[in-house]
Structure 1
Amino acid sequence: MGDRTHTHTGAAGRATTADGPASVRNVVLVGHSGSGKTTLVEALALTAGALNRAGRVEDGATVSDHDEIEQRRRRSVQLSLVPVAWDGHKINLLDTPGYADFVGELRAGLRAADAALFVVSAAQEADAVAGTTRAVWEECAAVGMPRAIVVTHLDTARTSFEEMTRVCGRIFGHDDPDAVLPLHLPVQGPEGPDGHARLTGLTGLLTREIFDYSSGERHRLPPSGDQEGPLQEARDRLIEGIIAESEDETLMDRYLAGEELDVPALMGDLERAVARGSFHPVLTAAPAADGAGQGVGTVELLDLISAGFPSPLERTLPALTAPDGAPRPAPACDPGGPLVAEVVKTSSDPYVGRVSLVRVFSGTLRPDETVHVCGHGLTEPGGGTGPSHEADVRVGALSAPFGAQQRPLDSCIAGDLACVSKLGVAETGDTLTGAGEPLLIEPWSMPDPLLPQAVRAHSKADEDKLSQGLARLVAEDPTMRLEQNPDTHQVVLWCMGEAHTEVALERLRTRYGVQVDAEPHRVPLRETLASRTVGRGRHVKQSGGHGQYAVCEIEVEPLPPGAGIEFVDKVVGGSVPRQFIASVEKGVRAQAARGLAAGHPLVDVRVTLLDGKSHSVDSSDAAFQTAGALALREAAAGTRVQLLEPVAEVSVLVPDDYVGAVMSDLAGRRGRLAGTEQATGERTLVRAEVPEIEIGRYTVDLRSLTHGTGRFDRAYARHEPMPPHLADRIRETQETTANAG
């Protein structure tokens, strides 16, 4: 990783096919928003020859060509793929959004990749690094994914590579700090007019050479005398870290005996430790000062990716099952094997239509062939484990993306990635196999969207397109859930946060031509009666011909929570004919569904029919339905109607430092603490029961309260009586809204 002769393809269009799985490297870039991931991808593409000196390819496309939403927001909101070639390898760089709202794009990148680069900015606070990346680091560790760390923005004021390396060791190497060590030390030039020292090169710890980039090209120089001391100290620690991970048990004894170890052998041990996921080197990189030369550290980073990161041959395929759930053996990563591929991302192109980013795990995917699509139903509320759709689909054109451009491909082999157009019903997370061989790849985990946004069509013309537009949005993004609430009659889009919501509504407008109005999300409340009461319903009308005549008397009493509506017939003597008993019950239940005081469904009461009157000619089913509804309304007038609100069981996982603040905040939301548990990584799980009306925006508030380090889950527990002063306030609000309407 520093002594190689480098070859690369001179244009992005010639860096889109792989000679075999062994030559492919799939790398996802992870990091906080603003850490410099996209800038780093551009610098790597320039060094690899995928971009010309002006930062563009022949047709003017750039890596940073984003859609209109990203341009307006000045931040990445979707996963992007940039393929480059380096030393005979095809490297697929997967750039992910750094903002927490777009975690679905991040998870898709993790699924498609075999290794991860964690990009951290030296200008960021340590809490920001810890809060946004530790959870992803632990996810990668759980599956043994190789990881390296790239420190950026060392040319800004008051930054220190040494301090950032210590932060990374504490955050990412808390189990083994010696597994997180730098491979190079930065070389900084004199301060410029802005007072910042520009990064001009690197000192290789193993080779004891300076890689000088000050001219825009990489040159090797010997270290100066004042660099020997810091170099030797860092070099000794790196060698000790490599020896600890080496399979050669004699290395430590030879090192302690003062023997000069062979540098190529040390590099080989280092590369093997990185590929195993047991050693995590820290590097630094920066784009060229003029934006046209080789970026500092980009050669070293590309070397690490090609030599130290594993090929797809070393990755275990996720578990496979038949559509009925029966396990199936995983095929090898062989271009000649049976086709097994997965849709890791779905997007829409205004000219091409739906475009699917596909990772091929086995076999070879070719244009115009027929494949079988099998899906898990990730777009259904709450997800699902069984297949929701299957179909044979003809594959459209294959392409490799570069910014906003798509470059045609003849095929996509096992281990590689490609964009596929016109895959019909295929959604994110679906499995592609050969026709007649349906299989399902175990889905990757996705967090539940917890921020609700109610929407309605802006006009009649939008109503016709709304359902289709929302369905497409949800099919593209598994972190989005669509709900049509039967109680509030609202269409609710559940998202990951405010930015996620705003992007979704903007995509509805710009991509699908649907204008919607956002409205406050209403929590589904219930009503019940506070005490026993009676009511009489009398529906008598004479208007020529057959009239309407029905009288019924009922008793209503409250039941325990969750009992629903119970109807009891205690009529004696036939005062209400048997054929009309069901009519009274139907009227009572219809009125209960409409509500009594505030328009919310009535629950948890027993309604007993005691007596009534009928007419031999004028009584009818409709008359007794009306009488039953009137009797229930009169009964409600004789007692207090109590509002019931849903209560959620909330579990909040936060670093120990924020436990007190979180518990205080939950108490302010009328929450009842159920207990705390110590979790891994100096974190605590706080359990509480909180009214749902108090946590509509909790995902946003918790992120602010804990600086992005906290996350929570919630589940419906039950409905409970709402405090009288809050119930009165809701009734007043509803009356005001009704009068205004």
Structure 2
Amino acid sequence: MIKMLHQGILDAKIYPVFAGSATDLLGIKALVVGVCRYLPSPIERNFISAKNGDGEEIQIEPKEGGQASAYVFKTISDPYAGKISIFRVFSGSIKSDSTVYNSKKGTKEKLGHLYRLIGKKEYPVDTAHCGDIVAVNKLKEAHTGDTLCEESNAVVIPPAELPAAVLSFAIEPKSRSDEDKLNPSLARVQEEDPTIQYRMDKETNEFLLSGTGQSHVEVVVNKLRDTYGVNVELHKPQVPYKETIAGKATTEAKYVKQTGGKGQYGVVSIEIEPLPRGQNFEFVNKIVGGAIPKNFIPSVEKGIVDSMKSGNLAGYPVVDVRATLFDGKYHS
């Protein structure tokens, strides 16, 4: 039974599922036992797809005596130890205090001491062999998704496909000190977990934090507080409503300014019509015969764009309209 499960997983015909909870520490032992009992060793795997220095598709054979290649799959930002890079060796072997080539960045990396992480304990190793997962401190250029290899045999192992962030919260720092530390702290958290996204929403003026679910975002908030001393509150984000028009309309606008002489006078006639969803804005100039001087046309467009920032219904931005300037008058 175990042998058949093992072979089925190796052939990618069976995908084991283990139930558990990382936050409640449930099912962890069963997962570890299942990995050791059912999953294939690195040596049993088929060739690994990668690309060489010329961008050509190649296959890496997972064997001890081959050219060294490793993939950085996780980065930890420790307040005391600094950046910790965790990588898996896919072929060959990598020694402590050696120099490797970061093929994605095109730079050399000087390794320090390698060690295995088991819980919070560190166990030094002299050499990381094919299939080993080890950690190293303070690599200058390497980030999650980079490949470490030999410069004479540069290869790039394609990065893993990460799940998209699907749930967003507005986050608000509790103090000015928290606000100053928020961006650099989130940058470190994102280096550890690339599935986290954060940005300033220009339409609602809210700072948004996005993750794969509510628990994911809450874990990030707890890490900001416990690791970096940044306290934030989560809020439901505002909806960035938009306005548009339902039909075609024509309007005329006048500009009159008396300056003691002839003054300034201008009239523009504009036709407004809806565009398909997602087209945003289109300006069409149909002025002929010099009814409006050419150097004034950009000012007309700018005035329309400025007025679209606040719609008539509820003051939300106006989108998906075409404005056609078709007539006008002026004198100064």
Q: Is 1:428 matched up with 2:144?
A: yes
Out of 27, 30, 38, the residue aligned to residue 37 of structure 1 is 27
Deviation at 1:392, TM superposition (A): 2.7
Select 1:478's aligned residue among 182, 194, 198. 194
**Which of 495, 500, 503 is the aligned partner of 2:216?**
500
1:443 is displaced (CA, Å) by 3.0
Asked if 1:372 corresponds to 2:101, the answer is: yes
Aligned equivalents of 2:111 and 2:132: distance in 1? 17
SS at match of 1:428: coil
CA distance in 2, matches of 1:454, 1:391: 38
Aligned pair partner of 2:46 in 316, 324, 331: 316
Q: Is the 8 A contact 2:75 2:143 kept in 1?
A: yes
Equivalence map 1:33-432=2 (5 Å): 33=21, 36-38=26-28, 40=29, 116=35, 147=38, 310-322=40-52, 325-334=55-64, 336-374=65-103, 389-432=105-148
Aligned-partner residue type, residue 327 of structure 1: E
Distance 2:294 2:103 in 1: 53
SS at match of 2:73: strand
Q: Aligned partners of 1:391 and 1:530: how far apart in 2?
A: 56
Residue by residue, what CA displacement relative to the aligned partner does 1:386-424 show, whole Å, maximum 9, x if unpaired?
Answer: xxx554322233122233232322221222121111123
- Going from structure 1 to structure 2, the CA distance change for 1:373 and 1:465 (only over 3 Å counts) comes to farther
Counterpart for residue 515 of structure 1: 231
Q: 8 Å contact 1:529–1:557 — kept in the other structure?
A: yes
Q: Find out whether 1:601 has 2:317 as its counterpart.
A: yes
Unaligned stretches of 5+ residues in structure 2? 1-15
| Equivalent residues of 1:320, 1:327 under 8 A apart | yes
Question: Which letter maps to 2:122?
Answer: Q
Aligned mates of 1:440, 1:615 — CA distance in 2: 67
1 CA distance for matches of 2:247 and 2:237? 31
Matched residue type, 1:443: P
The answer on whether the counterparts of 1:331 and 1:338 sit within 8 Å (CA) in structure 2 is: no
Task: Measure the CA separation in 1 of the matches of 2:313 and 2:267.
Answer: 23
What letter is aligned with 2:109? V
Within 2, Cα distance between the matches of 1:504 and 1:544? 65
**Letter aligned with residue 354 of structure 1:** K
Whether the 8 Å CA contact 2:48–2:61 is kept in 1: the answer is no
Secondary structure at the aligned position of 2:184 is classed as helix
- 1:611 equivalent to 2:327? Answer yes
SS at match of 2:131: coil
Asked if 1 retains the 8 angstrom alpha-carbon contact of 2:67 and 2:153, the reply is: no
How many residues align structurally?
315
- Whole-Å separation in 2 of the counterparts to 1:476 and 1:466: 16
Equivalent position amino acid for 2:20 in 1: H
TM-score (norm 2): 0.79
Post-superposition offset of 1:594: 4.9
Residue 88 of structure 2 aligns with an amino acid whose one-letter code is: R
Question: Could you tell me how far apart the structure 2 residues matched to 1:480 and 1:604 are?
Answer: 31
Q: Once the 2 structures are TM-superposed, how far is the Cα of residue 593 of structure 1 from its aligned partner?
A: 4.5
AA aligned to 2:19 is G
Tell me if the contact between 1:342 and 1:441 (Cα under 8 Å) persists in the aligned partners. yes
**Which one-letter code corresponds to 2:294 in the other structure?**
R
| Structure 2 CA distance for aligned equivalents of residues 466 and 571 of structure 1 | 51
Q: Secondary structure at the match of 1:528?
A: coil
Mapping 1:444-455, distance limit 5 Å: 444-455=160-171
Q: 2:298 aligns with which of 582, 588, 591?
A: 582
| Alpha-carbon distance in structure 1 between the residues aligned to 2:18 and 2:35 | 7
State TM-score, norm by structure 1.
0.38
Distance 1:374 1:493, change over 3 A: farther
Shift of 1:459: 4.3
1:529 deviation in Å? 0.9
Over residues 289-320 of structure 1, what are the superposed CA-to-partner deviations in whole Å (9 max), with x where a residue is unaligned? xxxxxxxxxxxxxxxxxxxx654321235311
Q: Identify if the C-alpha distance between structure 1 residues 581 and 347 changes in structure 2 by more than 3 Å, giving closer, same or farther.
A: same
SS at match of 2:318: coil
State the Cα distance separating 1:324 from its structure 2 match: 5.9
Deviations 1:424-465 (A, max 9, x none): 343333221123644222333433221112224444444443
Which amino acid in the other structure matches residue 333 of structure 1? K
The verdict on how the C-alpha distance between 1:596 and 1:515 changes in structure 2, with shifts beyond 3 A counting, is farther
Higher helix share: 1
Which protein shows a greater Rg?
A: 1
Q: How far does the alpha carbon of each residue in 1:13-34 deviate from its partner, in whole angstroms, 9 at most, with x for none?
A: xxxxxxxxxxxxxxx9943226
- Name the SS of the counterpart of 2:297 in structure 1: helix
**Letter of the aligned partner of 1:368 in structure 2?**
D
Shift of 1:510: 2.8
Kindly provide the CA deviation profile for residues 450-490 of structure 1, in whole angstroms up to 9, marking residues without a partner as x.
11122244444444433332222222113323344454444
Confirm or deny: 8 A CA contact 1:338 1:434 kept in the other structure: yes
Q: What is the percentage of aligned positions where both structures have the same residue? A: 40
Instruction: Tell whether the 8 Å contact from 1:427 to 1:476 is kept in structure 2 after alignment.
Output: no
| Alignment partner of 1:529 is 2:245 | yes
TM-aligned CA deviation for residue 35 of structure 1: 7.6
The answer to whether the 8 Å contact 1:370/1:435 transfers is no
Q: Deviations over 1:491-550 (max 9, x none)?
A: 3322122221111112123323433343322344332112222333334456899x8764
Considering fraction of residues, name the structure with more strand. 2
Aligned AA (1:312) = P
